Amino acid sequence: MDSGARALRGGRAHGKMQAFIFSVAFMYRIGIDLGGTKIELVALAGDGEVRLRQRVPTPQGDYAGTLDAIAALVRGAEAEIGGDYTVGIGTPGAPSQSGGRMKNCNSTCLNGQPFQADIEALLQRPVRLANDANCFTLSEAIDGAGKDARAVFGVILGTGVGGGMVLEGRLWQGANHIAGEWGHMPLPLPEASDLPLPGCYCGRHGCVEAYLSGPALQAQYAAQTGLTATPAEIATLAEGNAQCAMAVLETYERRLGRALAQVVNLFDPEVIVLGGGLSNLARLYRTLPEYMAPHVFSDTVLTRIVPPLHGDSSGVRGAAWLWAPVTG
């Protein structure tokens, strides 16, 4: 090949690469967070920048209305910003591996419905689904608090307790789509004060969620004091040395430390990112390493426990990132 032909060939290759970079840079990823009260949309540019954000109320108890609301949001975004789109949806539950009908949705009319097939038919394109905890973890692993880690475990501590696993930028959903669902594992090493094992909505007793959800923390405080307080108020009371608040939070943190140690023993993430309402309790990041370490099967524990970077936006961002190249 003479130098002219080589230059021509090189120029073509360069042009193709430029076109590829152009198409990736200008491709939008639409993420939908389907919640019990609202449906949120973001359109992320190739660099993760939010180009559009919208939200509408979730039609209550109305499956067809929910599908229509999602489709209207996507079409509205397409009309507003133009370009190529992928669509990922964060849902409260997950499609069953037998037949694709939804399961484990705690607050919607999706259970038993072929949601993925229906929304794909409406939008005329493939759509990726993951539960909200998985979307949170993916978002924080790709460009959030776990950005530089190879193994990230995301924890939701809110109305419920959930989790997700991302390995080298790839969401690991598992054979049954329950990877990371540590909220319905039994609380390890129950102490006298942890008994009797509390019932859980899933039908089991002694689930981590039954001890560590926000409502569980509030119920424990109410049982001790007869008073109603939010987790944030309990933390404020503890800062003021209110004995009951301090004791309730310490018990909570000891339980959480033991439960997270099980996660570390099994998955050994470099980073655990906390999410959900209770992740706002700043003291958790100080106290948890000390409570977790004695139960980890290692003389040193390098796993970092960190707050989320994207906060409440992580779920919808992660839904968009379901179409990141590494998850394909």
Interactions with Zn ion, residue window 88-147 (CB under 5 A): none
Q: Is 51 in the site for Zn ion (CB under 5 A)?
A: no
The one among 27, 81, 167, 202 contacting Zn ion by CB under 5 A: 202
Residue from 207, 245, 273, 305 that binds Zn ion (CB under 5 A)? 207
Candidates 200, 256, 261, 296: give the one binding Zn ion (CB under 5 A): 200
Q: Does 204 bind Zn ion (CB under 5 A)?
A: yes
User: 84: which DSSP letter?
Assistant: -
Binding segment toward Zn ion, per CB under 5 A, in 26-34, 199-207, 218-226, 241-249: 199-207
Structure-token pair, residue 261: 């140690």
d(CA 188, CA 208): 8
CA distance 164 to 153: 6
Q: In this chain, which stretch among 22-30, 123-131, 193-201, 244-252 interacts with Zn ion, using CB under 5 A? A: 193-201
Q: Which residue, 155 or 207, is less far from Zn ion as judged by CB?
A: 207
Regarding 184 and contact with Zn ion (CB under 5 A), the answer is yes
Beta-carbon-side half-sphere exposure of residue 33 (alpha carbons within 13 Å): 24
- Distance CA(245)–CA(235), nearest Å, equals 7
Peptide bond into 196 cis (omega under 30): yes
- In the complex, least distance from residue 184 CB atom to Zn ion, rounded to whole angstroms: 4
Kindly identify the residues of this chain, within the stretch 54-83, that bind Zn ion according to CB under 5 A. Answer: none
- Is residue 246 within the footprint of Zn ion (CB under 5 A)? no
What does 140-175 look like in DSSP terms, one character per residue?
Answer: HHHHSTTTT-SEEEEEEESSSEEEEEEETTEE---T
Residue 168 to residues 25, 151, 152, Cα–Cα distance (Å) = 22, 6, 8
Nearer CB in complex with Zn ion: 205/286? 205
Name the residue nearer to Zn ion (CB basis): 103 or 204: 204
Stretch that binds Zn ion, among 152-160, 178-186, 237-245, 318-326 (CB under 5 A): 178-186
Structure tokens at 264: 């570390």
Q: Does 198 bind Zn ion (CB under 5 A)?
A: no
Q: Which residues pair with 87 in a beta bridge?
A: 30, 127
Q: Which is nearer to Zn ion, 27 or 202 (CB)?
A: 202
DSSP secondary structure letters along 207-244: BHHHHHSHHHHHHHHHHHHS----HHHHHHHHHTT-HH
Three-state DSSP at 109 gives coil
Which residues on neighbouring strands pair with residue 103, listed in sequence order?
A: 94
Stretch of 17-25, 139-147, 197-205, 292-300 contacting Zn ion, by CB under 5 A: 197-205
Q: Which is nearer to Zn ion, 118 or 209 (CB)?
A: 209
Candidate segments 6-14, 120-128, 179-187, 222-230, binder of Zn ion by CB under 5 A: 179-187
List contacts with Zn ion (CB under 5 A).
184, 200, 202, 204, 207
